[in-house]
Structure formats: C-alpha cells, structure tokens
C-alpha cells in the first residue's frame, strides 16, 4: 500500500469547501490502494502558474518528505503537464493529480471489454502531453513502449506509438459501439420504458438497483466508482408494466474531461431513457453540492432535458439529524428513502407508475387464432394489463393497457 501526502489549495474568496474536497480525495486514494499519511493545505490569492502551490508550502512539504517515508504526492486539482513536471523535479517524487487517481480507479474497476478500452484511451490521452523529462519519469508513465529507432528520439517514438495505440482503441470502440447498437435495436423490437439511475459516486445507485430487482444484480460496496460498466435489468411495477432499469457510472466533483469524453458512448444508454432517477446521498454534508455536480455533468452530456426524479437515499443514516437535512434546499420532484433498509421503496415504485403513466394507453387488437396470436398475447400479458379478452369467429379480441411503445409495436404487427 503506497503512502501518500495530499495537498489542497483554496483560493481566497472561494466558496469551495476545501475540507470536504480533501476528504473525498482521501477516499479516492484509499480506493486506489493508497494510505494518506499527511495533508497539507494552503490559501492563495491566485494559483501559481508554474507549480500550482507556492514556494513556501513546497519547502514545508519537502522538509516533511526528508523525515518521512512517502511514496507519492497527490494534489487536489487537475494539474497541467508543465506543473506536474516542475513539481516532480522539485520533490523527486511521483506527483499525481485527481485525474491520475480517478483513471487508476477506473482501470481497476473496468470489467467489460468496452470499459477497459475506454479507460485505456483516457489514460493514453492523459499521458501523451506528459511524455517529457527524465527516463525515470518516462518509465513511470508507461515508457519502454519501444526501443529507439534511427532518426527518432525516444520521446518521438513514445508519442508516435501512443497515438497509434489510441487510433487502434478508437477503431475497437467503434466496433463495440456497432454491436451495442445492434443489441439496442433488438431491444427496441419489444420496446419497454427505460429508467436510468444516475448520481454522485457512492450515492447508493447499485444498492437501489438490487433493492428494486429483489436480488443482488451488482456488487454494492462503500467505495468510490465501484460500478463502472452499465447494468440493465427488467422489473415489474404493480400495474404489471415492465420497465428496464439501468445502473450507470457515478459522477464526481472535478470529473476529468478525458473520462467524460471517453464514456460518452456509455451514456448513450442514458440518452435512450424515458426517465432519470437521480440518486443523492442525503446523509452527506455536501449532498446539495454533489447533486449540482451531477446536474452539471448531465448538461455537458446534453441529457438535462430528460425527466428527472430526485431520490434522497440513505434515510437511515440521517433520520436522527433531519434538521440538518431539511434546512438545505431540495430538488423537485423528489422522494426520501433508504435502499439499504428498504424504506419507502414502495413509494418509489408508485412514483415510477405515476411518471410512466403518460407512456400507457389502452389498445384494442383483433388477432387470428394462430401461433402469432399466442406470442402477442403473451407479450401483452408480460408487459401490460389485459382488461378484457374474448374469442369470436376464430378471432381473439383483446383490450389491454400497455405502454405506448408496445402499443405502436402491436399496431404494426396486426395491420
């Protein structure tokens, strides 16, 4: 387990909560496999353009490093390549920023081929402008990619091969995307309403998915970015309406732009949603700021126009401190629940019925008594509610309540 020193900077007159941000960074380092030994903070009028932190603070940190056995220094910021290089030269230690830590966590948690490719692409994009400095620095960033050839420096070789690798990954991702589009088109063959769970990392989205499904679908742990690859499952509401629920990757403050871009394809699943359930950790002191971060990322992904139900999760952890919770502004429409303790889940299912009621309509179909009629009746029964059915003159007549997508599908089938 690598021993880390964390460094945070707060600009004067800034409203950002430095303590909360550093606590989150500490959790990120722990998830990445490190342990925080010391935290340094500094207030600055403005960020130092060359080294991010001031010279006096750098000397203070260096003095500490001379006495303690520290492996890495992690800054609570997204550094420029030149800032990172200058800090590494000064401290003679590996310097990581938020982006590097998050990329490392994503690489650990990517379980599908697409997820692994997306993370690798983001890592290479992050490393490319940082291929400068000593041989030791190059090797830490994945050097040794090739040996020096005639007429090229090692740096040029490394850059060229990284670009070649990025082009190769892009081509693979396009292939994966085509397969996903085929899968999605098949799913549209029997269309169902789609609901996506979105939210800040560790807000309880996976626990909520497991609760709605009545079984463990995804591993839910108290770790940041435990879920990386989207998971979709079908559930049934009380009115017998079938719904697809998708769990997605969590967001975080200062989410690296490389990851937003790399995972844009994954969020195409969210773009297909009829409703977003925004899961918020109501027990977190900064829950409102976390919620704002999620809404900001949704806007960046052009998804803010989607209908959203805001769900304040982990009620069991803030029941005794409701005053703190209630004094903060809330997003609407909203619901308070605990996925872990199964509190108010019935209310959520009722809300889903209410939200999706606009997608439901009554339809009357007449089907000849054949094998196709049996299949279509089963489809209606499985995904809707049969209100009336009778057989007349070798024809099956059905009146049913189904979602509009299935109604459209049935009309096309019986024309």
Decide: 247 and 201 in contact? Cβ < 8 Å.
Answer: no
Three-state DSSP at 238 gives coil
Phi, psi (degrees; rounded to nearest 5) at 314: 65, 40
Residue with tokens 């090739």: 146
Delineate the domains of the chain, giving CATH numbers in brackets. 2-96 (3.40.50.11060), 105-177 (no CATH), 192-357 (3.40.50.300), 360-414 (no CATH)
Residue 218's pLDDT is 59
From 129, 345, 297, 344, select the one nearest 201 (Cα to Cα): 297
Whole-Å CA distances, 401 to 19, 241, 355? 53, 9, 16
Q: What's the angle, vertex CA 341, arms to CA 337 and CA 342, rounded to 5?
A: 60
In this prediction, the residues of the chain whose per-residue pLDDT falls under 70 are 132-152, 182-190, 216-229, 261-266, 319-320, 323-324, 415
Decide: 363 and 410 in contact? Cβ < 8 Å.
Answer: yes
Q: In what order do the strands lie in the sheet with 395-403?
A: 360-368, 395-403, 385-392
End-to-end C-alpha distance for the chain, whole angstroms: 66
Whole-Å CA distances, 27 to 20, 76, 129, 218, 286? 11, 12, 27, 21, 15
Decide: 291 and 310 in contact? Cβ < 8 Å.
Answer: yes
According to DSSP H, which parts of 301-343 are helical? 315-318, 322-326
Lookup: tokens for 45: 């009028």
Tell how far CA 19 is from the center of its chain.
23
3-state percent breakdown (helix, strand, coil) of the chain, nearest 5: 45, 20, 30
Among positive and negative, which fits the CA dihedral 128, 130, 136, 141?
A: negative
Residue 67's pLDDT is 95
Residue 140's pLDDT is 44
**pLDDT tens profile 344-379:** 999 999 999 888 887 788 899 998 888 888 888 888
d(CA 19, CA 8): 9
Residue 147's pLDDT is 33
- Number of DSSP helices (H) and strands (E) in the chain, helices first: 16, 13
Residue with tokens 């966590």: 105
From 84, 99, 91, 94, select the one nearest 28 (Cα to Cα): 99
Decide: 174 and 268 in contact? Cβ < 8 Å.
Answer: no
**pLDDT tens profile 199-250:** 998 999 989 999 998 876 655 566 566 655 678 888 988 888 888 898 887 8
For the chain, the residue count is 415
Among positive and negative, which fits the CA dihedral 34, 39, 43, 48?
A: negative
d(CA 164, CA 170): 10
């Amino acid at each position: 387990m690598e021993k880390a020193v964390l460094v945070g900077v707060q600009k004067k007159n800034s409203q950002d909560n430095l303590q909360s941000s550093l606590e989150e960074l500490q959790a990120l380092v722990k998830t990445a496999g490190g342990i925080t030994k010391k935290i340094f903070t500094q207030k600055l009028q403005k960020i130092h353009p060359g080294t991010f932190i001031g010279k006096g603070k750098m000397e203070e940190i260096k003095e500490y490093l001379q006495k303690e056995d520290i492996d890495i220094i992690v800054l609570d910021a997204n550094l420029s390549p030149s800032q990172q290089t200058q800090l590494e030269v000064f401290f003679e230690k590996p310097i990581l920023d938020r982006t590097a830590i998050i990329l490392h966590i994503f690489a650990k948690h990517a379980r599908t081929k697409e997820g692994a490719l997306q993370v690798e692409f983001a890592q290479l994009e992050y490393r490319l402008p940082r291929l400068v400095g000593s041989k030791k620095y190059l090797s830490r960033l994945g050097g040794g990619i090739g040996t020096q050839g005639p007429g090229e420096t090692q740096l040029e070789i490394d850059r060229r091969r990284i670009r070649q690798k990025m082009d190769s990954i892009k081509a693979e991702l396009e292939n994966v995307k085509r397969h996903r589009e085929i899968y999605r088109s098949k799913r549209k063959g029997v269309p169902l309403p789609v609901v996506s769970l979105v939210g800040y990392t560790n807000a309880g989205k996976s626990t909520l998915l497991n609760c709605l499904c009545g079984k463990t679908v995804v591993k839910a742990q108290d770790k940041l970015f435990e879920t990386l690859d989207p998971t979709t499952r079908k559930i049934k509401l009380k009115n017998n309406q079938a719904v697809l629920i998708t769990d997605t990757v969590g967001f975080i403050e200062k989410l690296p732009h490389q990851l937003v871009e790399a995972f844009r394809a994954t969020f195409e699943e969210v773009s297909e949603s009829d409703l977003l359930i925004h899961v918020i950790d109501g027990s977190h002191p900064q829950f409102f700021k976390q919620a704002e971060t999620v809404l900001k990322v949704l806007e960046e992904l052009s998804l803010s126009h989607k209908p959203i139900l805001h769900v304040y999760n982990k009620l069991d952890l803030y029941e005794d401190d409701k005053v703190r919770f209630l004094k903060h502004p809330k997003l609407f429409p909203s619901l308070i629940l605990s996925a872990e303790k199964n509190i108010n889940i019935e209310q959520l299912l009722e809300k889903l019925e209410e939200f999706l009621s606009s997608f439901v309509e009554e339809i009357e179909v007449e089907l000849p008594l054949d094998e196709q009629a049996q299949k279509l009746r089963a489809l209606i029964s499985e995904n809707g509610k049969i209100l009336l059915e009778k057989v007349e003159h070798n024809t099956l007549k059905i009146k049913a309540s189904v979602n509009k997508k299935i109604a459209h599908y049935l009309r096309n089938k019986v024309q």
